[in-house]
């Protein structure tokens, strides 16, 4: 059965798995889809990181991700903040750049904006350039 947002999520998970594995990081997939994370990254030294995967397109030269989960039930749409104790980091797949970005959400409040294009005013202080979030070993 086709479900647009679920399909985008599956694409994001696939690209994150490929990106992690190409960098020597193994991946474990949970059996339940009711967990707050989408996969577990297993680093070469044995460290584990529970990742929530987001699929986001570029809008106005940036990628914006709120730290929340949205889902639909028979009672309507629910929006729940990510439990920062149950998820270690966010992996963002962007179909426009074909890149995966890794964000330690503990360093931000409720969302993050990653800049793809430089700001029009050439500001750099306080700007999170997406290119600086490409390395999963920085988590």
> Which CATH number covers residue 32?
3.40.1350.10
Which pLDDT score, from 0 to 100, does residue 78 have? Answer: 84
Please count the structural domains in the chain. Answer: 1
Range of the domain at 124: 4-138
Rounded distance, CA 34 to CA 17, Å? 19
Q: Which helix (H) or strand (E) holds 41?
A: strand 39-42
Summarised one tens digit per residue, pLDDT across range 89-99 is 999 999 999 99
Summarised one tens digit per residue, pLDDT across range 113-131 is 999 999 889 888 999 999 9
Rounded distance, CA 9 to CA 122, Å? 33
Residues 6+ apart with CB under 8 A from 108: 67
At residue 124, φ and ψ (nearest 5 deg) are -125, -25
């Amino acid at each position: 059965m086709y479900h647009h947002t679920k399909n985008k999520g599956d694409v994001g998970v696939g690209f994150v798995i490929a990106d992690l594995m190409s960098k020597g990081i193994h991946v474990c997939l949970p059996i339940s889809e009711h967990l707050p994370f989408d996969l577990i990254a297993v680093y070469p030294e044995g460290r584990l990181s529970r990742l929530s995967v987001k699929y986001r397109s570029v809008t106005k030269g940036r990628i914006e991700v709120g730290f929340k989960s949205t889902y639909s039930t028979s009672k309507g749409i629910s929006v729940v903040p990510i439990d920062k104790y149950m998820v270690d980091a966010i992996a963002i797949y962007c179909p426009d750049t074909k890149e995966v970005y890794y964000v330690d959400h503990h360093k931000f409040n409720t969302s993050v904006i990653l800049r793809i294009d430089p700001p029009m005013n050439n500001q750099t202080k306080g700007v999170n350039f997406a290119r600086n979030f490409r390395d999963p070993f920085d988590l």
